[in-house]
């Protein structure tokens, strides 16, 4: 055990709370725990707190010096004067505010105006659109709300005690639609536009700032500011120039660390800030690992059987194309879309081709994200592949060709929680330690495979148009 004490990192994701206790000297996980969250796109935040209390109780904190929380981005937690939620939190994947997003874009003067203001063009995921929906559809709830927090903000406040003032960080704040990475400040005019007034907002902490000592289950622990989940993963990975991170989890994300902010008027690239004082341009799709699960269920096989089927088919799946907008889609902004299977013939209608088309369709959505980053000047020469979907042999074999570059498959790990642990170590105080993860495998993109992938992506683009 290190004399300086261990650190704890929390990932409060859509599906579960995950806690890792880490040796800050080398980033090795000493122990960990997990507790599930309720399903749905709106959840009582108190369920997250109960899960966190239970997970911390399991891992124990007697030898832990500091803690930080990375949480799912964009979720809207409206609170009363005492910091208690006035309604269930609306999560990032709740699409009821899609029409509100369109209204806000028009009212400010179009996509370019939003990209210039906050680096991101609103879609249903963004917090500002959820505020507009609430103000228009639940005015009595809006009237009771005195503050608006993000999921990680609310949990961080609970760790510090109910009397603590709310604090956020620049990374998670940059996903609200009313905090500007370009100007490093809130935009109360945009909050007024969305909500009709300006509720109390959390203070934006400096990167690595210590927020004081925790109470209750976090008694005596130094509490870091926390961040958003994607920012946590980026902090854990410490991506170098030329590296794009592709995460295949509940959602699919493609992002990179940059020195300059981005502003994409197409809305494909969200111009976020990161947790280190830099920037994190990011593309997010709603449909990622779940697509593989649906494909396996349709074919009646387990994940290994699904991989075998997909790898037995030729690139292009004989012309079969799946556009996997199973739950609507965020990028492109099609909240009411459904999945489509096109090009089906008597010749290509095999189980192998359906499995292959499922993998290729999911990867083509992410490849469009790689292209979108390139369009705003963020280029990569290799991909760091993480997330549950990266455990699929078919995904890792097919990804280099579809993404158009070599892929480093990183070992399965709770990277969001590890990023929060790294931030906790930074808050003790000191510089954030670097825990570079060696790849489990490096898969090159062969020229012949890239040529085949060109046809795959052209067919996908035509089907998705």
Listed by start position, the domains of the chain span 6-230
CATH superfamily of 6-230: ATPase, nucleotide binding domain (3.30.420.40)
The first and second tokens of residue 107, run together, are: 């009212």
Q: What is the pTM of this model?
A: 0.91
Helix (H) or strand (E) holding 34, with range, is strand 29-36
287 and 250 Cβ atoms separated by less than 8 Å = no
In this structure, the number of other CB atoms found within 10 A of the CB of residue 287 comes to 23
The secondary structure of the chain in percent helix, strand, coil, rounded to multiples of 5, reads 40, 25, 40
Please tell me whether residue 181 adopts helix, strand or coil conformation.
coil
Neighbouring C-alpha atoms within 13 Å toward the C-beta of 249: 21
402 and 364 Cβ atoms separated by less than 8 Å = yes
Q: Which pLDDT tens digits describe the chain residue by residue (465 residues)?
A: 333 589 999 999 999 999 999 999 888 999 999 999 999 999 999 999 999 999 999 999 999 999 999 999 999 999 999 999 999 999 999 999 999 999 999 999 999 999 999 999 999 999 999 999 999 999 999 999 999 999 999 999 999 998 899 999 999 999 999 999 999 999 999 999 999 999 999 999 999 999 999 999 999 999 999 999 999 999 999 888 889 999 998 889 999 999 999 999 999 999 999 999 999 999 999 899 999 999 999 999 999 999 999 999 999 999 999 999 998 898 898 988 999 999 999 999 999 999 999 999 999 999 999 999 999 999 998 899 999 999 999 999 999 999 988 898 998 889 999 999 999 999 987 666 766 665 666 666 566 566 777 889 999 999 998
Active site residue 229: yes
| Catalytic-labelled residue, pool 229, 264, 307, 333 | 229
């Amino acid at each position: 055990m290190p004399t300086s004490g261990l650190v704890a990192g929390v990932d409060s994701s859509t599906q579960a709370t995950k806690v890792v206790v880490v040796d800050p000297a080398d980033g090795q996980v000493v122990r960990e725990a997990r507790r599930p969250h309720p399903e749905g796109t709106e959840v009582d935040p108190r369920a997250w707190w109960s899960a966190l209390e239970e997970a911390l109780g399991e891992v124990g904190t007697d030898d832990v010096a500091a803690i930080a929380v990375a949480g799912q981005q964009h979720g809207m937690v409206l609170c009363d004067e005492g910091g208690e939620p006035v309604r269930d939190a609306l999560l990032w994947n709740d699409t009821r505010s899609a029409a509100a997003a369109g209204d806000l874009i028009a009212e400010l003067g179009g996509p370019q105006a939003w990209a210039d203001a906050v680096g991101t063009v609103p879609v249903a995921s963004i917090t500002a659109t959820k505020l507009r929906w609430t103000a228009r559809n639940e005015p009595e709830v809006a009237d009771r709300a005195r503050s608006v927090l993000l999921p990680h903000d609310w949990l961080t406040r609970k760790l510090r005690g109910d009397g603590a003032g709310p604090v956020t960080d620049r990374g998670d704040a940059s996903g609200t639609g009313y905090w500007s990475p370009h100007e490093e400040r809130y935009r109360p005019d945009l909050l007024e536009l969305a909500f009709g007034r300006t509720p109390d907002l959390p203070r934006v902490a400096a990167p690595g700032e210590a927020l004081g000592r925790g109470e209750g289950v976090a008694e005596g622990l130094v509490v870091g500011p926390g961040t958003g989940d994607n920012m946590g993963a980026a902090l854990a990975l410490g991506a170098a120039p030329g590296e794009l991170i592709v995460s295949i989890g509940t959602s699919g994300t493609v992002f990179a660390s940059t020195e300059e902010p981005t502003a994409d008027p197409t809305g494909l690239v969200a111009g976020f800030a990161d947790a280190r004082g830099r920037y994190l341009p990011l593309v997010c799709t709603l449909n990622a690992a779940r697509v593989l699960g649906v494909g396996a269920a349709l074919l009646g096989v387990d994940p290994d059987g699904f991989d075998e089927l997909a790898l037995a088919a030729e690139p292009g799946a004989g012309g079969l194309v799946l556009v996997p907008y199973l739950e609507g889609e965020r990028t492109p902004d099609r909240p009411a879309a459904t999945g489509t299977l096109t090009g089906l013939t008597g010749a290509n209608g095999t189980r192998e081709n359906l499995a292959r088309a499922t993998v290729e369709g999911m990867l083509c959505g992410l490849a469009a994200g790689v292209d979108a980053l390139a369009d705003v000047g963020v280029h990569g020469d290799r991909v760091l592949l993480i997330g549950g979907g990266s455990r699929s042999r078919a995904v890792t074999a097919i990804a280099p060709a579809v993404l158009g570059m070599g892929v480093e498959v990183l070992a399965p790990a709770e990277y969001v929680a590890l990023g929060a642990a790294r931030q906790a170590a930074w808050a003790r105080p000191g510089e954030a330690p670097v825990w570079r993860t060696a790849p489990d495998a490096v898969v090159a993109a062969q020229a012949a495979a890239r040529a085949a992938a060109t046809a795959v992506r052209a067919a996908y683009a035509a089907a998705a148009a």
